Amino acid sequence: MSLLELDDVSVTYRIAAGEVPAVRGVSLTLDSGAALGVAGESGSGKSTLAMALLRLLPGDARVDGRILLGGEDIAAMKWGRLRAVRWAEASIVFQGAQHGLNPVRRIGDQIAEPLLVHGLAKPEGARKRVTELLEQVGLPAWRARSYPHELSGGQRQRVMIAMALACSPRLIIADEPTTALDVMVQAQVLTLIKELVAEHGISLIMISHDLSVLADVCDQLAVMYAGRVVEHGPSAQVFHDPRHPYAKALAAAFPTVGDPASRMAPKGLGGDPPDPMQLPTGCAFHPRCPVALPECASTDVELWPAGPGRVAACVHVRAKEDAS
């Protein structure tokens, strides 16, 4: 059985100016122990989707569709169950979360907190577990007594990962976990995440604008544009042989992991991603697409088979499959 199942999930923010369709009809599954990468430029709906998975969205967000975690409908969970799930079954490492550490509390106490709050350990057991967790993320045991300002950015991100691991979750959602770090440190933290999920059989959803980072860590890749998944498949294939013109642009923009020159907006791709409140007609990517046809301005293509285990939402992919 899949650990996580998303069935036609949409998220709409209701603001004074109207409705913001941030995520549109996303269906994905994640098997136990698998790692899924979610790529896309800023504004494509990645964080909104991540927050929807654990019902962390603000009250003005409406979620349609169905999200099953271990077969259990997230929307139907009572508050107490949801709280337990957020630590013990799935935890999130946010972008820049390292700045969210409490500056006046020691690292060890902050890592121990979820264990104590959820009654998973007594104080003595929690201390031992903190030492073990620090070791797992490559920090010496004495760091438990440090305050956040005594650590580097990379070390703080390691602490965030230790906190995410504390209650032995089955799933970790990492939202741009290394984007705020410099390149060398970024590579070290990625290696750490990769090793930890493999060693402990944890499932991973990793979010990044950098396709090369995701291809390095994940088995499967989903590329999002304007709230939709436009391509999905095995990560090596999506990265080295992308089918959707947007996935092609992303793959070309981030050729190697952590390349400092390509960390900004995708090169060679003109314009900006659309405002969700003013989505283009037809395929949302058509105004920026180098291979758009006249019909792309009026017809939005569904995800279409693009080879074994692969799908892509592009008229060219459909034409090719039709011909074969």
Which two three-digit tokens encode residue 246?
């947007």
Nearer of residues 104 and 264 to ligand ADP, judged by Cβ: 264
Nearer of residues 108 and 227 to ligand ADP, judged by Cβ: 227
Nearer of residues 20 and 218 to ligand ADP, judged by Cβ: 20
| Pair 90, 84: CB distance under 8 Å | no
- For residue 237, which of 214, 260, 257, 253 has the smallest C-alpha distance? 214
Count other Cβ atoms within 10 Å, centred on residue 10.
19
What is the identity of the amino acid at 156?
R
Q: What is the nearest approach in angstroms of Mg ion to the Cβ of residue 96?
A: 10
Strand 203-208 relative to strand 171-175: parallel, antiparallel, unpaired? Answer: parallel
Q: What is the nearest approach in angstroms of ligand ADP to the Cβ of residue 6?
A: 15
- Cβ neighbours for 150, distance < 8 A, ≥ 6 positions apart: none
Q: Which does residue 20 touch among Mg ion, ligand ADP, none (CB within 5 to 8 A, set by kind)?
A: ligand ADP
Q: Which does residue 201 touch among ligand ADP, Mg ion, none (CB within 5 to 8 A, set by kind)?
A: none
Instruction: Write the CA distances from 23 to 47, 171, 191, 205, integer angstroms.
Output: 10, 21, 30, 16
**Spacing of C-alpha 258 from chain mean position:** 17
Which two three-digit tokens encode residue 94?
């946010």
Q: Which of residues 34-53 bind Mg ion (CB under 5 A)?
A: 47
Nearer of residues 53 and 139 to ligand ADP, judged by Cβ: 53
Binding site for ligand ADP (CB under 6 A): 13, 15, 20, 22, 40, 42-48, 58, 276
- Cβ neighbours for 158, distance < 8 A, ≥ 6 positions apart: 137, 138, 139, 189, 192
| Pair 10, 21: CB distance under 8 Å | yes
Q: What is the nearest approach in angstroms of Mg ion to the Cβ of residue 118?
A: 27
Q: Which does residue 13 touch among Mg ion, ligand ADP, none (CB within 5 to 8 A, set by kind)?
A: ligand ADP
| Residues that contact Mg ion, how many (by CB under 5 A) | 1
Q: What is the nearest approach in angstroms of Mg ion to the Cβ of residue 48?
A: 8
Nearer of residues 43 and 177 to ligand ADP, judged by Cβ: 43
Sheet order of strands, 203-208 included? 90-93, 171-175, 203-208, 35-39, 220-225, 228-234, 311-312, 304-305
Q: Which does residue 293 touch among Mg ion, ligand ADP, none (CB within 5 to 8 A, set by kind)?
A: none
Q: Which does residue 215 touch among Mg ion, ligand ADP, none (CB within 5 to 8 A, set by kind)?
A: none
Q: Using N-to-C axis directions, what is the helix angle for 153-165 and 107-117, rounded to 10°?
A: 20
Cα(163)–Cα(158) distance, integer angstroms: 9
Q: What is the nearest approach in angstroms of Mg ion to the Cβ of residue 230?
A: 17
Nearer of residues 151 and 222 to ligand ADP, judged by Cβ: 222
Which 8-state DSSP code applies to residue 131? Answer: H
Q: What is the nearest approach in angstroms of ligand ADP to the Cβ of residue 214?
A: 13
Q: Which does residue 15 touch among Mg ion, ligand ADP, none (CB within 5 to 8 A, set by kind)?
A: ligand ADP
Q: What is the nearest approach in angstroms of ligand ADP to the Cβ of residue 176?
A: 8
Nearer of residues 108 and 273 to ligand ADP, judged by Cβ: 273
Q: Interface residues with Mg ion (CB under 5 A)?
A: 47
